[in-house]
Structure 1
């Protein structure tokens, strides 16, 4: 039985979101949230029983908001909304993303500003806690008026008409709900709209990227430090006095990370005297400035996404103090779109500077290592073409980093005339993370090969651990061989947290993300 996480609506932390993303918690609500849910539902019920037009309760949607719906058809209106909006295409969203969608939607509705019944929130939590994964196509949202299509597919599964993913296969949602002992949800007034209006898909996708990139970024720090030693670079550029004069938090932290990673390196000590190089290339010397700026950008993104995860983003909103139902635009995902675009730039730059470090290592005129990191260059090509792969991936990331948020297209007959494109902005980050992880995998191989040429000198304790971790599966390359499997294995170490664990054992370092 998984441990239970009590969701405090509006107070979710990044650690809690990480555990939901990983699927290691059952979710439940405090009693105080149930009181808020019931109070807001009473406001909606009064509107449904009354004669005044209220958007989302007794009117059509979007451009059809001026169409009145009879009281006898209010439930049908909500059902039709879900059916008509379930128009997504493409590959299904990953289970981690769907888990976050279910949890974020439940937490948002439980704040008591949406006017739904308790059973709506309970069904969301029950589906999550049963390990069910609604089948949600990944394409079809423009990130305004909420993530309509993906959230509609999620809701379609809750009402038993959609599909679930089981063992990678699509199965009827009704049968999956019945097998789990969950009654299919019957929608009441405003409930369909509350379920699909909101930014929970784009937010979940962006959180998925942030959490997926965390071990990759930590690996980048370890690998970047290993490259410094392989190239016999200076640790002078990491002197804290340099970075304190600039005052950029991420830069100061990254410099501290590098000092800790390189501490005690015999390779570093070996060239303190007699090395005629005055300054290292920027790809070594400016790592705190570049990766630190990326870290600041990612930390800002984490703050925005944490706010959005705790937000109420449907429409109209219900205020129990005076019984008002007010239409607004909290469903517009511009904050998520801009955060995701910023994350894209950071992810691309971490890969870009890593590609430059690989190019530096294989250039004997700069690194003073054998050409292409092979002792018999000419007969052997060494890392010549592995670098070409890294360059190709870095170039792909440049195209993918183009901001999605500036590419608005009007929808709903120009009623919804500016949209955020946040869903794509966040979804495209996974491809970029994959590209950057592969670049870093190649750099790990190259840096480890560079270290071989400096033996018997030893690097720092932490970096020797990273080197040994790689060598457990991949021997040094004394002649050309089939490198693609080596790249795949090294990239796995970048992504699966193996290198992160080395980084996290270093004492006294500031946390990577924001304190929560």
Structure 2
């Protein structure tokens, strides 16, 4: 991929998505004067000899402690080392690279008081593939993501570990291999690097991008399940949804109609079908999935704003040589956004599991029990449906809002926190659970459609079925099911299913 040029304050959702998917990032050169002026403003502020939080004072509850000029560099190094107190497994590399890009764009706005060489080092690490090892746990989402970002800052001064490709190295060694020198922190710089919402925001954006992939795949599997059950496409009629007016619902119904257009399976039962209405898991797909789409788009707006903002403290205003302390580090918007993504992921998986359960039940689907030609001798899709139910139940538990929790920290100086970090961290695991549910539905729906031969579905859905059948043959007799599920997961996760269907589906932006 080509490098994304980040224009501070103006990056698009597509830019962040590309970085998460593997593109590197550079800062727009036009930001250089603003960065330099911000650093010069810090020097002028210090020259006044007045106490300024985070520049010549202690931090948090220790803000009243004045620090002498001779100790200012030590102060910034100490805050990085003391705050690098994360724990748990290393965060995924794509998430940390996105976090670094978010911090780069934030510093590029010239409100943080860092030196140009600091921004240059962060950019060089991104370009050359040096990713700090950042433990996943330790942030409460205010005062910023202190622990995770401190691990990033520590790597920049040569402390901790860095991933260089697939190799984990001591930070100083990795920097040396790349021809980079560890950073010597100046006044305000340690605090500027470790304060902010970039860890929470990166995790939330990662969850959003995976939810987008999941949403589109679930539209395809939902249409396939409707075909397998010989369900009606009447509930997708545009006139129904126009009367309710929700944009996501209208677009979802349009997508489902388009995916099923021209189906001989549907045409075969337009007359003589005794069923008056299908179960909700088929009939109400536009309402459920459309609501998820609207929610995810609202989240995309919130996170797009957050990603383009500045969230460290204090903030530097060179025009007046002021350092203003505020609370932009409080990640409540991100926490709310993460909770909303969790709800959407949970519901996408939940309604899909109901479609699986419907397909394996001959009383509801009209198909052989558990989708096997020889039920009894074979169990067919009996236990994959149980697995889907287990995953949905797990996601229900994880979907409980994180933002409603708070616990005081820093001797009650930081007495209300957002919990955005772990609210966002859970999203990738929730998305993986839901991906497995959609993968099971994909296998079940395609299996169900096979029973309608020689009738065929629409061009789009037949292409989707062919995509599956390249990797997973029809299930005649029981076989080791796990490899089939893994193959289906790859098809869903990679976007291959949606690409095979070849039909335009709703996007977030």
Normalising TM by the smaller chain, what interval? over 0.9
Which residue number corresponds to residue 113 of structure 1?
111
Which residue number corresponds to residue 5 of structure 2?
6
Change (3 A) 1:495 1:416: same
1:452-502 CA-to-partner distances (Å, cap 9, x unmatched) read 111100001111111111111211111222111111111111101101213
Deviation at 1:51, TM superposition (A): 1.8
Q: How does 1:66-105 map onto structure 2 within 5 Å?
A: 66-105=64-103
Which residue number corresponds to residue 23 of structure 1?
22
Distance in 2 separating the partners of 1:50 and 1:170:
44
Deviation at 1:131, TM superposition (A): 0.7
Which residue number corresponds to residue 190 of structure 2?
192
TM-score with structure 1 setting the length: 0.97
Distance in 2 separating the partners of 1:233 and 1:390:
22
Q: How does 1:317-466 map onto structure 2 within 5 Å?
A: 317-466=315-464
Distance in 2 separating the partners of 1:25 and 1:154:
17
Distance in 2 separating the partners of 1:276 and 1:457:
20
Distance in 2 separating the partners of 1:499 and 1:199:
34
Distance in 1 separating the partners of 2:16 and 2:208:
11
RMSD of aligned Cα (Å):
1.2
1:117-142 CA-to-partner distances (Å, cap 9, x unmatched) read 11111111011011111111111000
Distance in 2 separating the partners of 1:187 and 1:166:
23
Instruction: Indicate conservation of the 8 Å contact 1:218/1:499, yes or no.
Output: no
Which runs of 4 or more aligned residues in structure 1 lie more than 6 Å from their structure 2 counterparts after TM superposition?
none
Deviation at 1:378, TM superposition (A): 1.6
2:213 is the alignment partner of 1:215:
yes
Distance in 1 separating the partners of 2:280 and 2:393:
19
Q: How does 1:285-304 map onto structure 2 within 5 Å?
A: 285-304=283-302
Which residue number corresponds to residue 499 of structure 2?
501
Q: Secondary structure at the match of 1:339?
A: helix
Instruction: Indicate conservation of the 8 Å contact 1:4/1:28, yes or no.
Output: no
Instruction: Indicate conservation of the 8 Å contact 1:162/1:173, yes or no.
Output: yes
1:329-348 CA-to-partner distances (Å, cap 9, x unmatched) read 00000000100000000000
Distance in 2 separating the partners of 1:401 and 1:324:
42
Gaps in structure 2 of 5+ consecutive residues: none
Instruction: Indicate conservation of the 8 Å contact 2:264/2:455, yes or no.
Output: yes
Deviation at 1:325, TM superposition (A): 1.3
Q: Secondary structure at the match of 1:325?
A: strand
Distance in 2 separating the partners of 1:288 and 1:123:
48
1:225-251 CA-to-partner distances (Å, cap 9, x unmatched) read 000000000000000111111111111
Distance in 1 separating the partners of 2:110 and 2:25:
21
Which residue number corresponds to residue 141 of structure 1?
139
Distance in 2 separating the partners of 1:500 and 1:366:
27
Gaps in structure 1 of 5+ consecutive residues: none
1:344-373 CA-to-partner distances (Å, cap 9, x unmatched) read 000000000000000100111111111111
Instruction: Indicate conservation of the 8 Å contact 1:219/1:499, yes or no.
Output: yes
Distance in 1 separating the partners of 2:79 and 2:332:
24
Deviation at 1:5, TM superposition (A): 2.9
Q: How does 1:216-295 map onto structure 2 within 5 Å?
A: 216-295=214-293
Instruction: Indicate conservation of the 8 Å contact 1:261/1:460, yes or no.
Output: yes
Which residue number corresponds to residue 507 of structure 2?
512
Instruction: Indicate conservation of the 8 Å contact 2:32/2:108, yes or no.
Output: yes
Instruction: Indicate conservation of the 8 Å contact 2:44/2:321, yes or no.
Output: no
Deviation at 1:14, TM superposition (A): 1.1
Worse-superposed segment, 79-88 or 373-382 = 373-382
Q: Secondary structure at the match of 1:428?
A: helix
Instruction: Indicate conservation of the 8 Å contact 1:100/1:204, yes or no.
Output: yes
Instruction: Indicate conservation of the 8 Å contact 2:265/2:457, yes or no.
Output: yes
Deviation at 1:88, TM superposition (A): 0.6
Q: Secondary structure at the match of 1:207?
A: helix
Instruction: Indicate conservation of the 8 Å contact 1:37/1:118, yes or no.
Output: yes
Residue 41 (structure 2) aligned to one of 40, 43, 47 = 43
